[in-house]
Homo-oligomer: A and B are copies of this chain.
Amino acid sequence: MDKVFAGYAARQAVLKASQNPYSHGIAWVKGSLVPLAEARIPLLDQGFLHSDLTYDVPSVWDGRFFRLDDHLDLLRLKLPLPREQLKQTVVEMVVKSGIRDAFVEVIITRGLKWTRDAPLEDMSNKLYMFVQSYIWTSGPEQQRDGGGRAVLARKVRRVPPGAIDPTITNLQWGDLMRGSGFNIVLVKDGRLYTPDRGVLEGVTRRSVMEAAKARGIEVRLEMVPVELAYTCDEIFMCTTAGGIMPITWLDGKPVNGGEVGPVTKAIWDAYWEMHYDDKYSFEINYTD
C-alpha cells in the first residue's frame, strides 16, 4: 500500500502548484476543449431533461490510463465519435490537463429534446467528456485502516432490477441515500462473494475477479444474502473512484477484529499492480 501511494502526494503537490488553467479539470463539448468549470451543455439535452444517458468512469493512475477500452465497452448508447478518435481525444485531454491521477467521465446522452426548430442532427446522441483530479470515495488513510459502514439494505429500498437495469450505468441516483454507488464484495473462508445479478457489472468488479484469479483466490458469483455481511470474515467496496476500499466496521461492530484482512490486502495489492501492467493499462506521453 505504501508503495502505491508513495508518489501520489508528490504528484498532487505538483498539480496544485500548476498554473495550467486545465489543471483544475478539462471538458470536451461539441469538439471544443474548455476548462471544466466553464463547460456548458444545452438545456434541451435529454441527458438533463430526462436523465436519458449512459456514462462510465475510466481513470488514470500515475500517468497510465487504466482499462480505457473496457470502460468504453460498457457504454450501450452509440458513440457519437469514432471510437479511436474518442480515445485519442480523451488522452489528449489528460495530457493538456497535466493531471497524472485522473477521474475521467465519458457521458453519452440521447441528444436534444425535440422542438419544432431543432435541426435533425440534434436528435442524435451527444457526447460530453471531462477529466479532473482523481476522486476518492474512501481516501488513502481510510484504506489503510479500513472504515465503518452501515448495511442500508436493511432499511433502504433500492430501485429493483426489473424497473431499471442496474447493469446499465445511469445517473438516476434518486435511491442512493448516501452518495455514490459501488459494488460490495464479501470474503468468507478465503473465498470472495459477489452477486451474480442485480448489480452493476462494472470494470472494477471485473478487475477484482481478475485480481483474485491471479492470486489463486476463488470467486463465487451467486445470490448473496444480506445475512452473509454479518457472518463473513472480511468486506470491501470497489469502484473506480477509490479502488478497493476495506470495510472494517459494520453497523458499529468490528469486521475481522476491526483490521483490514489478508484476502482484502491481497486483492488490493493485485488491483493496483494491474495499473502498472501493460495488459491492463498504457502509459500516457505527457510531452506531446
CB neighbours (8 Å) of A41 from chain B are 40-43, 48
Q: Contact: A37 with B44, CB < 8 Å?
A: yes
A194 at the interface (CB under 8 A from B): no
| Partner-contacting stretch, out of A2-10, A159-167, A260-268 | A159-167
A130 at the interface (CB under 8 A from B): yes
A175-B171 contact given A40-B41, A116-B24, CB 8 Å threshold: no
Count the A residues whose beta carbon is within 8 Å of the partner chain — how many? Answer: 40
A51-B162 contact given A40-B43, A115-B25, CB 8 Å threshold: no
From 88 to 145 in chain A, residues with beta carbon under 8 angstroms from any chain B beta carbon are 115-118, 128, 130, 132-133
CB neighbours (8 Å) of A162 from chain B are 157
A35 to chain B, nearest CB (A): 9
A39–B48 Cα gap in the complex (Å)? 12
CB neighbours (8 Å) of A24 from chain B are 115-117
CB neighbours (8 Å) of A197 from chain B are none
A160–B158 Cα gap in the complex (Å)? 9
A49 at the interface (CB under 8 A from B): yes
A82 at the interface (CB under 8 A from B): no
CB neighbours (8 Å) of A40 from chain B are 40-43
A173–B47 Cα gap in the complex (Å)? 11
CB neighbours (8 Å) of A51 from chain B are 51, 171-174
From 12 to 29 in chain A, residues with beta carbon under 8 angstroms from any chain B beta carbon are 24-25, 27, 29
A256 at the interface (CB under 8 A from B): no
A235 to chain B, nearest CB (A): 24
CB neighbours (8 Å) of A44 from chain B are 36-37, 39
CB neighbours (8 Å) of A160 from chain B are 157, 159-160, 163
A19 to chain B, nearest CB (A): 14
A158 to chain B, nearest CB (A): 6
In the complex formed, the residue of B with least CB distance to A49 is B171
A12 to chain B, nearest CB (A): 11
A-side interface residues toward B, CB under 8 Å? 24-25, 27, 29, 36-37, 39-45, 47-52, 115-118, 128, 130, 132-133, 157-160, 162-164, 170-175
Which 10 pairs across A and B sit closest by C-beta, in order of nearness?
A157-B162, A40-B40, A172-B172, A51-B51, A39-B43, A164-B174, A163-B175, A159-B163, A48-B48, A157-B163
Please give 19 more A-B residue pairs, beta carbons under 8 A apart, in addition to A24-B115, A41-B43.
A27-B43, A29-B43, A36-B44, A37-B42, A40-B40, A40-B41, A41-B41, A43-B128, A47-B48, A48-B48, A49-B171, A50-B173, A51-B171, A51-B174, A52-B173, A116-B133, A157-B160, A164-B174, A172-B174
